[in-house]
Structure 1
Amino acid sequence: MSRPANMPPLEDVGPALSPFEFWPQGIFYAPMVAWWLLLAIRYGDPRYPFIANPGFPLGGFVGESKAAVLARFGPRARAATAPFVLLPAAPLSDRRDALARALAESRLRLPIVIKPDVGCRGAGVRRITTQDRIASVLALYPEEVPLLAQNWVSAPGEAGLFYARHPDERHGRLLSMTLKYFPRVTGDGRRSLRALIQTDRRARRLLHLYAPRLGERLDEVVPAGEEVVLTHIGAHAKGAIFRDGRPYLTEALGRRIDAIARDIDGFFVGRFDVRFHDFAALRRGEDLVVIEVNGAGGEATHIWDSRYTLARAWRDLARQYRLLFEIGRAQHRRGVPLPPAGEILRAWRREARLVSRYPWPD
């Protein structure tokens, strides 16, 4: 995996991990639950965020289908997105045949990435690089879970772009950019991969995240000069490194994302995950491929920069939740109905149950 051109260097300054980066979610988000209740009192209903994006199931806050989201894409948004094929819930043999047809018809090409249709934070994401790996990878997923097969975008750079548009406004804006770095070590011909990881002050503390993917390679000597990427998944919870990229936002990039966002039916707020080859071109609104769009549940992920303080992270999340309430209330005033509380609870439970059965991402 090469490095993106003109990407700001990853400076090894500040803490290797933020104090809260890997806290249990129930602890980190506890103050946000209290804030949500205050917002519910202020705005009149706790369910407004679940209709912030009327085109997405439950606004894309929880349990949304990736396929249902992608089905809302117009021609401009689809052209900017990596090609994909839905593999419905079905026996392994049927899904294997469906994927083989997509490859034979050139709708997809290897390598590809398999994503569960429901899930977040990189849960269950796997790559398939050769034909003989198709059956073994597909067999890792529960048959009742639809899967999304998508071309693997080889562009080495990745960013998360948080976007919002009020329903009363014609154009939206970018509020956040997160630069994602994929940790790697370089072999010296003497030490094992495990020993090399131990020399990195962040990676050595996250070995438990990398070990399931690296497996037996951990104890192999890495040839001199060979780089080993520890994770290909752009999720901090899977060991990627996040940096606050808001100083690099430009009007040109904002216009490009706004044009794509307005071509997604019923989408007003969420995060675009994009890949790119050249960071300078990305800032000009060029050279980007959308790999995923997250709805109301997609965070402005700059808060996971290890240099960020807990107080600032909570402040930024509080602002984001207030924005979701504002947009949701505006949608309701336009006639969008609020979902039953039971539907929200069932979606949360279903997502938690499914994610617990997904394979470890690679």
Structure 2
Amino acid sequence: MSGLFGERKAESLYHLQGMDEQARFELITASTIENRIDTAVRAMQAMALVFPVVLKPDAGQRGSDVAVIRGARELSDYLVRVSGTVLLQEHVEGEEFGVFYMRDPDVEQGYVFSITEKTFPTVIGDGHSNIESLLMKNPRTHYLAAYLLDLHAEKLEFVLKDGEKFKAVEIGSHCRGSVFLDANDLITPDLEAAMNRISGSIPGFFFGRYDIRVPDKLSLKAGQGIKVLEVNGVTSESTNMYDPSYSIFNAYKIMFAQWSMAFKIGKANIKGGAQRITFFGFLKYLISYSSNIKSNNDMTIDKKA
């Protein structure tokens, strides 16, 4: 379904195995709590990872249940709380970007359609206010109070030094408080060459957004130091349209250009022999997918070995 829905994060990431650009990961499947925790610990050892690591549902979206895990207790708590298959991934430091890539199937080289810089809300200490007070006073974070107060429950009474910074959000999701900024000025031939090389390793990938981290902007422009966190398919968004400086007309212009290319690619693929799904086939797939999601959400994990 080209990532329309039911997209599994691991499916595309597996194609990057052996490439320096792949953020290392392992799947933790549904099983007993003890087996899941043991699998996670063994996976970290096999990949030579230490905390922090990232855990997220293999079939999640929009930052749902994505967490930075900083210790063994957080690891076990997460695996108890989140059922179904999850992805354990190395935590990559650096700056985060969304790079939207497109390629017409009739040509050999694609291009970067857009780049989104993902910035994380930060509060700054004044020497006497605790973290809870700072979060509630901040014009961005107070809208996410319920989520952030729960996320940082053990740190709320801590008082930051004057000028000390505290990153309120570590997940590059708009729904989790990250601010998205247009960064199309960072598009370069070197970056496009790197994205063409990476995309060439994923069979049939012509359209979608890479969520990546790099050491800095210069590395991104040089196409170096890229670590791919996720590969998102046809329903992924060119998230630069969420730049606060953009009007709704700017956003629609980006969206129309994105979907115009999506339909052009789809038409070319059908012409090249790709199977066209019927409306009823799509409906059947949607119902099946919704049932599977409900089943995963309702799943209770056997806590006995």
Is 1:242–2:183 an aligned residue pair? no
CA contact (8 A) 2:120 2:178 kept: yes
Match of 2:14 among 62, 68, 71: 71
Q: Given that residues 67 and 171 in structure 2 are in contact (C-alpha distance below 8 angstroms), is that contact kept between their aligned partners in structure 1? A: no
Alignment of 1:1-362 (within 5 A): 58-73=1-16, 75-76=18-19, 79-106=20-47, 108-142=49-83, 145-155=84-94, 157-339=95-277, 340-346=281-287, 349-350=290-291, 353=294
Which ranges of structure 2 fall in alignment gaps of 5 or more residues?
300-305
CA displacement, residues 21-46 of structure 1 (integer Å, 9 cap, x when unaligned): xxxxxxxxxxxxxxxxxxxxxxxxxx
Q: Is contact 2:21–2:226 with CA below 8 Å preserved after alignment?
A: yes
- 1:150–1:208 Cα change, 3 Å: same
Aligned to 1:28: none
1:238 to partner: Cα distance: 0.5
Q: Within 2, Cα distance between the matches of 1:346 and 1:107? A: 41
| Deviation by residue 1:311-346 (Cα, 9 ceiling, x = unmatched) | 221221122122111111211121111332134422
Relative to structure 1, is the Cα distance of residues 274 and 357 closer, same or farther in structure 2, using a 3 angstrom cutoff? Answer: farther
TM-score of the pair, normalised by structure 1: 0.76
Contact 1:178–1:244 (CA under 8 A) maintained in structure 2: yes
1:91 deviation in Å? 2.1
Spell out, residue by residue over 1:160-218, the C-alpha distance to the aligned partner (whole angstroms, 9 max, x if none). Answer: 00000011110100010001111111212211223323443333333344223122533
Report the alpha carbon displacement of residue 276 of structure 1 after superposing the two structures with TM.
Answer: 1.5
State the Cα distance separating 1:357 from its structure 2 match.
7.2
Shift of 1:230: 0.6
Contiguous gaps of at least 5 residues in structure 1: 1-57
Shift in Å at residue 240 of structure 1?
A: 0.6
The alpha-carbon deviation at position 141 of structure 1 amounts to: 0.9
Which stretch shifts more, 145-154 or 328-337? 328-337
Matched with 1:10 is: none
Determine helix, strand or coil for the equivalent of 1:98: helix
Contact 2:140-2:177 at 8 Å conserved across structures: no
> Is the alpha carbon distance of 1:252 and 1:354 closer, same or farther for their aligned partners in structure 2, counting shifts above 3 Å?
farther
Q: Percent of counterpart pairs with the same letter? A: 31
**Pairwise CA distance, 1:356:** 6.6
- The answer to whether the 8 A contact 1:67-1:148 is kept is yes
Q: Distance in 2 between matches of 1:320 and 1:265?
A: 21
Secondary structure, counterpart of 1:67 in structure 2:
helix
Supply the AA of the counterpart residue of 2:243: D
C-alpha contact 1:189 1:223 (8 A) present in aligned 2: yes
What TM-score does the superposition give when structure 2 sets the normalisation length?
0.89
Shift of 1:247: 2.1
For CA contacts below 8 A with separation 6 or more, give which structure has more relative contact order: 1
The answer on whether the counterparts of 1:74 and 1:263 sit within 8 Å (CA) in structure 2 is: no
Query: Structure 1's 110 and 221: CA in aligned 2 closer, same or farther, altered over 3 A?
Result: closer
